[in-house]
Structure 1
Amino acid sequence: MSTASVSGRGIQGEADSGLVERVRERLARSPGALTPHRVAEALRESGRPVGDATVLEVYESLRRDVLGAGPLEPLLREPGVTDVLVNGPDQVFWDRGSGLEPAAVRFPDEAAVRRLAQRLAAAGGRRLDDAAPFVDVRLPDGTRFHAVLAPVAGPGTLLSLRVPSPRVFTLDELAERGMLTAGGLRLLDAVVTARLAFLVSGGTGSGKTTLLAALLARAPAEERLLVVEDAAELRPDHPHLVTLEARPANLEGAGEVPLRALVRQALRMRPDRLVVGEVRGGEVVELLAALNTGHEGGCGTLHANSAADVPTRVEALALAAGLGREAAHSQFASAVQLVLHLGRDADGVRRLQQVAVPVRAPDGLVTMATAYELVDGRLGRRPAATVLEERLG
């Protein structure tokens, strides 16, 4: 969680929220027990004289929040961290951009992991106990938090925290980091300019949201981007961005606002580009319908193992939503003009590995034809490149 997750609520007198933020940052850099003495040292390091009342006020504010994510807080604050995973009290892993690796953090016991899970769930307004042993929630600072309690989970309570990027990368910066080749960068610029409808596919942590945000930031400033998400993660740097976020049911089981309903609402809000942050349910039907009714440049992300698997994945989601197989393939063939597939290479770097276009077979089913493919660090042309280039004009 970012420093924005610390609040100064309840702080009066000399202390203010900015001072609490600075103290918390200093404490996070040298983990240890939260004591008034350590708070006083951190305040002195901040370079301003403070009294006993301020020390106690800052200490009480931090104690109420229990340093955010407890022993995980230093990991979440590390620059470049994307994920922190806890498998019971003795196994903590983190991803700093090069794949998962063990972290030198341990919990005293299973009870400590469970307490942290329940506290973070409560911070997101959700219940987590034996009657409701799992939760998926966005925390106030934007961190995506998922937990499953033991004994349903093993080897103990499982925590997964997806850390939002503090900034949006540009396509040029993604190219510098190795995600895109020079040719890939030019190709994606052309895709945005031509207002082609596309999906970004890949596995968990492959960089789908990062790439999509960078692409949307390239859209002309006069275009209205309407982003619909299950949990707000897309934050493209664009002057006309509006968002809709789904909402789970409350503790009484009421108040749910599903993603599928929001996609339908978005169509009435004059979007120039309709974006579904992650297509993983019945909303695929509304998205395909929208892209088939004049909404050019629409896009979204989709979990898939390869570009070739995307039609099958769309078919499965559409079938679950009540759309037949033939109709799903027909809608997909007409709506989506290309798929950008991301993957993580052996060196841990996330890269654009494949660009493919849908091709409809005589039986009406859709397969993906590769237009460009990453080989030996270059995005090489494949037979379907001609089809894509025609669509790019």
Structure 2
Amino acid sequence: MGVVITGQLAPEGALSAGALDEVREWLAARGREVTPTHVAEALRAAGAPVGDATVLAVHDRLRQDVLGAGPLEPLLRLPGVTDVLVNGADEVWIDRGSGLERAQVRFADDAAVRRLAQRLAAAGGRRVDDATPFCDVRLPDGTRFHAVLAPTARPGTVVSLRVGRARAFSLDGLVAAGALPAAGAVVLKDLVASRAAYLVSGGTGTGKTTVLSALLSTVPDPERLVLVEDASELRPDHPHVVGLEARPPNAEGAGEITLRTLVRQALRMRPDRLVVGEVRGAEVVDMLAALNTGHAGGCATVHANSAADVPARLEALALAAGLGRAAVHSQVAAAIDAVVHVGRGTDGLRRVQEVAVPVRGADGLVAMRTAVELTPSDVHRGPGWPLLARRLGLSA
């Protein structure tokens, strides 16, 4: 898979990393563009071989240094790729939906990875250097970019690229992909149609955003979706979508726009459905308040290992924002109608695994009760089904 990138640039012989740097510096010092003609001049000046194959190979390498994602570009264009991960110069991994695979691509050295990280950060309007050796930003094409420079990271500079989908999966598409049984798609469509408030939970990389986009694509066309996200990843197939994206502080520590601020702004924008791309901080307080004050049909994603862990996760986030434990559980019990949990199976495939409903105990604390458990081919009703059926207006 991919192309092995090494110091061996041409059949005619090897060009050392030092010689390649000389070519790069020669071009930069004279303000020359990276063209085959200019590369040939630089090679002659450096006393390096100037055969056609060597010139073209050096030209391609230098172009990779200044355009796109360099040697990672072919991987980003592979069908179904969601993540491209670089662990130093010698390890590149991809995820195409069935777990991580080692790609046959490598960099000449860590300096090449560092240059790529700095260039991609600059493309997103950020800076990454020894003073600030990490960066998290959305690139102009929608790709989510994160990097940590060596020696903070080992075995070298680490780069993570999360590829956004140009078009959302539909629920039918999830069924066709084996992520959801047909009967489960019916339950989820009823959940959205009933204007229930729900969370999509799961671990990192389990497909929460994909599932939420598919659910939002079933919202009736006349309704207005207002999306609040840390990084713009949701792509519902819907005619009326307004997106608000958070912004980190700049290098001087100014200009930050938090999710909590954007949730408050979204409430003034007449949303039919308030959507928080991922609840991860103090914005949970405003989201719960909104769902308790007439904003039906709201939804969000949240990191959790299981549906049963969602109340504890929301409690931890809300407590950090200053909301007491009793108030958190009271808000959750009144605001959330269901949790849709997604995860990876033992085969590495991402699937919708469960729909659960919140139940408040005698102690006032909320626990989740399984309403339906989803297998690759069927749906099995659990003890929480009567509660979910009642909320959806179905027969128990």
Would the TM-score normalized by the shorter structure come out above 0.5?
Answer: yes
Which residue does the alignment assign to 1:220? 220
Structure 1 runs of 4+ aligned residues shifted over 6 Å read: none
Counterpart residue type for residue 350 of structure 1? R
CA deviations on 1:81-124 (whole Å, 9 max, x unpaired) are 00000111111100011111101011111111111111111111
Q: Which residue of 1 aligns with 2:3?
A: none
8 Å Cα contact 1:121/1:135 also seen in 2: yes
Specify the SS of the correspondent of 2:121: helix
Residues 67 and 73, structure 1, Cα contact 8 Å, conserved in 2: no
Query: What stretches of structure 1 of length at least 5 have no aligned partner?
Result: 1-33, 38-58
Instruction: Report what 1:296 is aligned to.
Output: 296
In structure 2, distance between residues paired with 1:87 and 1:65 = 18
1:151/1:117 Cα in 2 relative to 1: closer, same or farther (>3 Å)? same
Task: Check conservation: 1:217, 1:238, Cα contact below 8 A.
Answer: yes
CA–CA separation in structure 2 for the residues paired with 1:312 and 1:89:
40
Aligned to 1:106: 106
Is this contact kept in 2: 1:195–1:297, CA < 8 A?
A: yes
Q: Which residue of 2 aligns with 1:40?
A: none
1:8-50 per-residue CA deviation (whole Å, 9 max, x = no partner) reads xxxxxxxxxxxxxxxxxxxxxxxxxx8649xxxxxxxxxxxxx
Native 8 Å contact 2:228 2:259 kept in 1: yes
- Map of 2:11 onto structure 1: none
Unaligned stretches of 5+ residues in structure 2: 1-33, 38-58
Cα gap change, 1:64 to 1:77, in 2 (>3 Å): closer
The Cα of 1:386 is off from its aligned counterpart by 0.8
Q: How does 1:293-332 map to 2 (within 5 A)?
A: 293-332=293-332
Q: Secondary structure at the match of 2:391?
A: helix
Q: CA deviation at 1:376?
A: 6.5
Q: Is the 8 A contact 1:226 1:271 kept in 2?
A: yes
Q: Which residue of 2 aligns with 1:132?
A: 132
* Structure 2 counterparts to residues 135-146 of structure 1, below 5 A: 135-146=135-146
Matches within 5 A, 1:1-393: 36=36, 63=63, 66-375=66-375, 377-393=377-393
Q: Which amino acid aligns with 1:198?
A: Y
Structure 1 residue 67, shift from structure 2 partner? 3.0
In structure 1, C-alpha distance between the alignment counterparts of 2:107 and 2:181, rounded to whole Å = 42
Q: Which moved more, 1:244-253 or 1:288-297?
A: 244-253
**CA distance change for structure 1 residues 254 and 318 in 2, over 3 Å: closer, same or farther?**
same
How far apart in 2 are the matches of 1:175 and 1:329?
A: 34
Report the AA paired with residue 121 of structure 2. Answer: A
- Give 1:18's aligned residue: none
CA contact (8 A) 2:167 2:237 kept: no
C-alpha change, 1:112 and 1:64, in structure 2 (3 Å) is closer
* Length, aligned pairs only: 338
Distance (whole Å) between structure 2 residues aligned to residue 219 and residue 153 of structure 1: 43
Following the alignment from structure 2 to structure 1, what is the Cα–Cα distance between the partners of residues 208 and 222? 25
Tell me the CA shift for residue 183 of structure 1. 1.1
Q: If you compute each CA radius of gyration, which structure gives the higher value, 1 or 2?
A: 2
CA positional deviation for 1:64: 9.0
Name the SS for the 1:233 alignment partner: coil
Identity %, equivalent residues: 70
| RMSD, aligned CA | 1.7
1:243 CA drift (Å)? 1.1
SS of the equivalent of 1:278 reads strand
Distance 2:190 2:115 in 1: 50
The 8 Å contact of residues 63 and 70 in structure 2, kept in 1 or not, is answered as no
Query: In 2, are the aligned partners of 1:89 and 1:113 still within 8 Å (CA)?
Result: yes
Q: Deviations over 1:182-229 (max 9, x none)?
A: 110100110111000000001111111111111111111111111011
How far 1:238 sits from its partner (Å)? 1.0
Once the two structures are superposed, what CA deviation does each residue of 1:287-329 show, in whole Å capped at 9, x if it has no partner?
0000000100000101110000100110111111111111111
Residues 324-382 of structure 1, C-alpha deviations (whole Å, 9 max, x = no match)? 11111111111000000001112222111011000111111111000111346422111
Q: Distance in 2 between matches of 1:161 and 1:376?
A: 29
Q: When the two structures are superposed, what TM-score results if normalisation uses the length of structure 2?
A: 0.83
CA contact (8 A) 2:180 2:374 kept: no
Q: Is the 8 A contact 2:168 2:214 kept in 1?
A: yes
CA contact (8 A) 1:229 1:278 kept: yes
**Contact 1:80-1:97 at 8 Å conserved across structures:** yes
C-alpha distance in 2, partners of 1:168/1:280?
Answer: 23
Work out whether residues 171 and 215 of structure 1, in 8 Å CA contact, stay in contact via their aligned partners in 2.
Answer: yes
Query: What is the distance in 1 between the residues matched to 2:240 and 2:109?
Result: 48
User: Secondary structure of the residue that 1:353 maps to in structure 2?
Assistant: strand
Q: Distance in 1 between matches of 2:375 and 2:194?
A: 26
**Pair 1:225–1:388, CA change in 2 (3 A):** same
**What is the TM-score normalised by the length of structure 1?**
0.83
Describe the superposition over 1:231-250 as per-residue Cα deviations: whole angstroms up to 9, x where unpaired.
Answer: 11111111111111111111
Shift of 1:270: 0.9
